[in-house]
Amino acid sequence: MMPLTLTSGLRTAAMRTPDKIALTDSERRLSYRQLINRVNRVVHLVRDMAIKPGNRAAILAPNCLEYIEIVAGLGDAGIAVATVNYRLNRREISQILNDCQARVLFIHPDCTTLLDREACPSLREVVVIDADYQATINRQASEPAQLARDELDTFSIPYTSGTTGTPKGVMLPHRARALTFFAMAVEYGCFNSTCHFLAIAPLCHGAGFAFAFAPLFFGGSVEIMQRFDAQQVLEVLKRRVHDGIFLVPTHFEAIFSLPQATLGRLRGHALTAIISNASALPQSLKEKIIAYFGDGLLHETYGSTEGGIVTNLRPDKQLAKINCVGLPFQGTEVELRNDAGEPVKAGEPGELFSRNLTGFSGYWQRPGETQDTLDAHGWITVGDVAVRDDEGYIYIIDRKKDMIISGGINIYPRQIEATIESIEWVKEAAVVGVSDAKWGEAIKAFVVRHPTAASHKEQEITDYCGNHLAGFKVPRTVEFIDTLPRNATGKLLRRELRKRS
């Protein structure tokens, strides 16, 4: 039986439509014939380096065409690849390379200063993705190599962003990722042999890579943007070629920060699906997206590197279900459980557990933490707390570890943050618990004002919350700051806010 691997669909597409354009960027185009030949050449290259199945490799690069062939080729060679975030610093990158014991590193010329070779003793080879790489690849055979890999083998080890500590390597099997593509095709309706997808998110992120590779799995076409530029995105979409796009909330914020004249001039697209992920979209931002791009397009998904895509809020419910992440994704079961492990009723908060065939197989060399996240029955939790309404729709309240206990009452920051962010002059907010002699923890809000709102005062925040929230949820202190601290993937670093308090 043919194994279901990352390149299964890619090889089928190369047989069906070898001359069709698979990948493009601002300068180059690759047909499926060219792409699969380059994948084969990567397999031969790493075998010539004596990198064996079961070894690990890494790639450190911004978005580029070569990213796809390198990850796919390494996967076909039976080598799991750590997709390293190029926005990390030298110490963090060395930490990841040492943790996964990478034997070979593929690195973009723009990233070479980030590598501390002496700090990474496991590295045997470093391949710079430059003109020499192109020449080396061209010298390799383009015929398929004899492949001996199982669909349950790990093809990729993306690292969690480490908002609470040391990043962990998340092992993703071939089959899980391939089945993710099938579920995406059913749910979003824009992944097929005729699709034209615009890939913007960093390929080093699990979601960024998945949304860029899914069209190729089904024989579609993908344009990869090397870096995000809001105006350029709208200019590309106005060509009316692309029917799908994946954007995170910060992308949308940048787009709607463009001058109104620019937004008006560049309005127009052929999109049938806009997919958002990474963090919750504020309702006011959703309304802007729908008003500008049109109704019936926006999907908001919730998930994790470990659990894959867990839920999706479809376009017809975006304005009806406020602060909602939708229904369970295709092929996914969801349970909300109390601290005793029992399912909770509708309207009651519970820790979210999900189970599907598209999740991870464990953390790299961390059996204890794997056991805390993935149980023997396949249920995965990353510590998020949610409620379910009477129709089965799911609302993420917060992360369990971010819960504030004040006066013996459990308080979830996200509700308070959403309330503060509904104030017209507030750009974003974050709430943490700070030590308090009387209450155990007291609520403190950090608020970023819009540039033109510097005259507004802290008391306005507490007054507004007092009118919209229960008294025990009103922040006791408010601090205005210029920006909220975030890590390299844009996730909020609450621990840094707690240090300030």
Average pLDDT over residues 324-350: 96
Query: Rounded to an integer, what distance in angstroms lies between the CA atom of residue 235 and that of residue 354?
Result: 39
Give residue-wise pLDDT tens across range 69-86: 999 999 999 999 999 989
Per-residue pLDDT, averaged over 144-165, amounts to 80
Please, which pLDDT band fits residue 88 given cuts at 50, 70 and 90?
Answer: confident
Residue 492 — pLDDT band, cuts 50, 70, 90? confident
Mean pLDDT of 272-294: 91
What is the pLDDT confidence band of residue 470, given thresholds at 50, 70 and 90? Answer: confident
Tokens 């500008």, located at residue: 292
Q: What is the pTM of this model?
A: 0.85
- Residue appearing with tokens 């047909």: 31
Reply yes or no on whether the pLDDT at 489 is more than 80: no
Task: Give the CA distances from residue 365 to residues 99, 100, 168, 173, 357, in Å, rounded to whole numbers and listed in that order.
Answer: 9, 9, 9, 15, 21
Q: What percent of the chain has pLDDT over 70?
A: 98
- Note the pLDDT of residue 164: 47
So what's the pLDDT on residue 165? Answer: 54
Residue 163's pLDDT is 46
Q: Are 144 and 41 in contact (CB under 8 A)?
A: no
| pLDDT of 391 strictly over 90 | yes
The per-residue pLDDT for 49 is 95
Residue 468 burial (10 A CB sphere; 0-12, 13-18, 19+): middle
Average pLDDT over residues 334-354: 95
Average pLDDT rounded to a whole number, residues 457-470: 93
- Cα 304 from chain centre: 7
Q: What is the mean pLDDT of residues 311-322?
A: 96
Of the pLDDT bands very low, low, confident and very high (cuts 50, 70, 90), residue 222 is very high
Strands, E assignment, 195-304: 196-199, 221-224, 244-247, 273-276, 298-304
Q: Round to whole Å and give the CA distance between 261 and 306.
A: 42
Share of the chain above pLDDT 90, in %: 80
Instruction: Encode 51-68: b = buried (16+ Cβ within 10 Å), e = exposed.
Output: beeebbbbbbbebbbbbb
Structure confidence at residue 161 as a pLDDT band (50, 70, 90): low
What pLDDT shows up at residue 117?
96
pLDDT for residue 393:
98
**Domains within the chain, CATH numbers bracketed:** 403-500 (3.30.300.30)
Q: Cβ(480)–Cβ(447) under 8 Å?
A: yes
Written as six digits, the tokens of 198 are 């615009």
Span 238-246, average pLDDT: 95
Mean pLDDT for the stretch of residues 263-277: 96
Mean pLDDT in residue range 268-293: 92
